[in-house]
Amino acid sequence: MLNVAIVGPGLVGGALIEQLAAHLQSPRFGSLPIAIVGLINSKKMAVSAAPFAASDLGDWKCRILGDAAGSADMAQFADSLAKLGAPTVVVDCTSSSTVAELYPEWLARGLHVVTPNKKAFSSDLSLFRKIQALAGSPRGPSVYHEATVGAGLPVLSTLNDLVRTGDRIEKIEGIFSGTLSYLFNNFSAPGATQTFSECVGVAKASGYTEPDPRDDLNGMDVARKVTILGRVAGFELGIDTLDVENIVPEALRSVASADEFMSRLPEYDDHFAQLNSEALASGSVLRYVGCVDGASGQGSVKLMRYPLDHPFAALKGSDNIIAFTTARFPSPLIVQGSGAGSAVTAFGIFSDLIKICERFGADSK
């Protein structure tokens, strides 16, 4: 049996609980040896030697992390999990740097880690190396983080397969932000009429952006994903070494609130309209793209032009698209699809759990 403990069961963690509970009750898949035994949020925690019942998982906020649950203590939580005996995975569904820094400690205690949290793999290079070293043994604890890039899309697994089979990575480029994909797919297209600020307003109202859209437009989320891809490909990238184009107008970067930013963004519609007009006049569209260059080992995040017949130009909605150009794939290997949302992110986590279950869980049923 593979034990699973979830840290930060919010939107993504809640979706994962739903998927696991439904899966385990399915006649077709009920034999999958995975069980949820631990939950912890910022206030409460619960760890059980026996799997939580499906009925309790259906109302986990009240039945598992309700008034009867213990006070949250991350050290005690990890200690309890390490004593369970069976293979155990800690699923970090937070975006916390503090939690990410605990991965080496968890791995040293024999706990596996699965996470959509980008911080451990895109922040300090020494933390990334420490995690790699601890997860490097074939039968030791493992780390999977497919959902850090492209949510549930098979991006990192594809890259890992390319690297492990000895292919030479020449270029990785892609549209890695669902928010920026939606914005430029709607703003920069032949016949589009909305201004840039109107597109941002619609995206914000539709829930595509962060509460403050500047957190999307500054490119840092894409930069983290590019850093992860570069490191998995074997390059020593860091966010501080990337060439990142922040498309937030400079005068609006320091305004006090998101509301003020949104109210003043129309002042810069002419700037974005000119960029778009120049692109369209050349038979191209604008796309916000992250890139890892295999020849130089460097990365970039920029607003770029692509001709109308390019796969990036044909993207719709808020989809992600990633193109791997390698020695074996001079015509790029392309991964495309929904790259954001709690359900697809939970799917990416679930897929990683199955990989660990296949390696470790079946031995302990």
Q: Which two tokens stand for residue 40?
A: 């912890």
Backbone angles phi, psi at 164, to 5 degrees: -70, -25
Does 355 qualify as catalytic in the annotation? no
Cβ neighbours of residue 169 closer than 8 Å, sequence gap 6 or more: 159, 162, 163, 233, 234, 292, 294, 324, 325, 326
CA angle 19, 24, 25 (to 5 degrees): 100
111 three-state secondary structure: coil
Strand partners, 303: 288
Cβ(151)–Cβ(341) under 8 Å?
yes
Strand 88-92 with 2-7, pairing = parallel
337: left (phi over 0), alpha (psi -120 to 50) or beta: left
Cα–Cα distances (Å) from 280 to 184, 274, 305, 317, 319, in that order, read 13, 10, 9, 19, 21
Could you give the residue ranges of the DSSP H alpha helices within 135-268?
156-164, 178-187, 196-205, 214-217, 220-232, 258-264
Cβ neighbours of residue 355 closer than 8 Å, sequence gap 6 or more: 144
Beta strands in the chain (DSSP E): 2-7, 34-40, 44-47, 70-71, 88-92, 112-114, 143-144, 169-175, 243-244, 284-293, 298-307, 320-326, 333-337
- Which of 225, 302, 316, 365 is labelled catalytic? 225
Q: Which two tokens stand for residue 349?
A: 């986590």
* Residues catalogued as catalytic: 225
